[in-house]
Structure 1
Amino acid sequence: MREIALFIIMSATAFITSPSQAQDAAAGEKVFTKCKVCHIAEQDQNRIGPSLNGVIGRIAGTHPNFSYSAAMIAAGKSGVKWDEPTLTTYLHAPQAMVKGTKMTFPGLKDDKDIANVIAYLKQFSK
């Protein structure tokens, strides 16, 4: 019986402390300042990079009126959709995930920063 109770406590602790539960949109907004040179999330407006307004759930390479690289268009056609796992991989190393992308940003190395940026973007993707 004690083993079952311990298992339940450990499972609950793992669930509560999982990265998806620890997202902080305010912290993500601060990290997003690195992205603001090229992107905007608050409005549906393209800059050097495409608007990230509504990015969660969007097929890669499909935002209207943006000139994507052939690599990003191909990624979208192959089924890449911007959800949390895909964004996490992409934000770690954009060029590694989509070889030939025009995005020159080297990526974010801290998983917590990535989770927080995704939380920030979720506010504009409802």
Structure 2
Amino acid sequence: MRLFVISLVLCLSGFGTAQAQDAAAGEKTFLQCKACHQIGEGAKNSVGPVLNGVIGRKAGTIEGYSYSPANQNSGITWDEATFREYIRDPRAKIPGTKMVYAGVKDPKRVEDLLAYLKQFGADGKKAAQ
């Protein structure tokens, strides 16, 4: 009985925790984002703003990009939880955003995308692995 209880506790303790992140898989997910966003050294604003250093950055603050008032006034500072919510359904998180992307619905792909984005500092350089 004790073994059963220990097994059950170990099994249940995994629920609600984040899935493992895979930056290489996230890079593949980012291919969809590349239609509008750039990341890395030499990245420039395009249809969407540069995503270098996005985690930890206040929404609507990349110089030279014309954000929607909804994005500029959202009060959001991008952290992992906020990004997860936003990327699932951008228009639900920030009504009036210019971003027309329908979102990434698969939680594993969201985690992988986060792992990929987090590699890049505000300067566009990849952090040492």
Where does 1:65-76 land on structure 2 (aligned, <5 Å)? 65-75=64-74
Tell me the alpha carbon deviations over residues 7-60 of structure 1, each in whole angstroms, 9 at most, x when there is no partner.
76346x618x9325x110000000110000100111342111000011110001
Percent same amino acid among aligned pairs? 45
| Alignment partner, residue 10 of structure 2 | 9
* Unmatched runs of 5 consecutive residues or more in structure 2: 122-126
Pairing of 1:1-126 with structure 2 (within 5 A): 2=2, 5-6=6-7, 9-10=10-11, 14=14, 18-20=17-19, 22-43=20-41, 44-75=43-74, 78=75, 80-125=76-121
- 3-state SS of paired residue (2:109): helix
Q: Supply the distance in 2 between the matched residues of 1:68 and 1:46 (Cα, whole angstroms).
A: 11
How many correspondences in the alignment?
120
Indicate the SS of the match to 2:73: helix
Q: Would you tell me which structure has more helix in proportion to its own residues?
A: 1
TM-score, normalised to structure 2's length?
Answer: 0.82
- Residue deviations 1:72-103, cap 9 Å, x none? 0011xx3x111110000000000111011000
State the distance in 2 between where 1:8 and 1:106 align. Answer: 37
TM-score by length of 1: 0.84
